[in-house]
Amino acid sequence: MENLLKDCAIDRLHTGAVAATSDVTDASSIDMAGWDGVCFIALLGALTASQVTKLKAYGADLDTGHAELVATTAAAADADGTKLLVLDVVKPTLRYLKPVLDRGTANAVLDGIISIRYKGSKSPVTQGSTVAASAIFASPAAA
């Protein structure tokens, strides 16, 4: 039986950042060896009017010196506070990827960034240390 927890690796890459206009560049990177794609999800907090907030993907052959990947940006509008920015990178050409939240002009709050690696050759997956607990229920009956 297929299920998300056995077929995907879920990691929290950043715990969040207070209201500011500085970029969030210190998220953890992930190793894409054995995976076909990754979905980065930034959890937005309050956004001040006129903010410019974008989620971008960076990559590198080694786990150092990451550079921005071409055409990998998801942008927030002023009314997008408490929503998500979702960026899906399919078949990356670099082994190590990381998300960067580009903030400018006015304050933006970040509640955290998670990643979901998928279509891997590593099933079943044991979730990493940033997952406190997980459980799988197949056809549960009503209580």
Domains of the chain: 4-120 (2.60.120.380)
pTM of the model: 0.94
**Separation of alpha carbons 54 and 59, rounded Å:** 16
With 0-12 / 13-18 / 19 or more C-beta atoms within 10 angstroms meaning exposed / middle / buried, residue 111 is middle
CA 67 to chain centre: 16
The pLDDT profile of the chain, 143 residues, written as one tens digit per residue, is 678 888 999 999 999 999 999 999 999 999 999 999 999 999 999 999 999 999 999 999 999 999 999 989 999 999 999 999 999 999 999 999 999 999 999 999 999 999 999 999 877 888 999 999 999 888 899 98
Whole-Å CA distances, 133 to 86, 120, 126, 127: 23, 21, 11, 9
Q: CB–CB of 24/17 below 8 Å?
A: yes
Instruction: Tell me how crowded residue 9 is: count the other CB atoms within 10 A of its CB.
Output: 22
Bridge partners of 42, per DSSP, are 85, 113
Bridge partners of 117, per DSSP, are 9, 38
Tokens representing 122? 């590593």
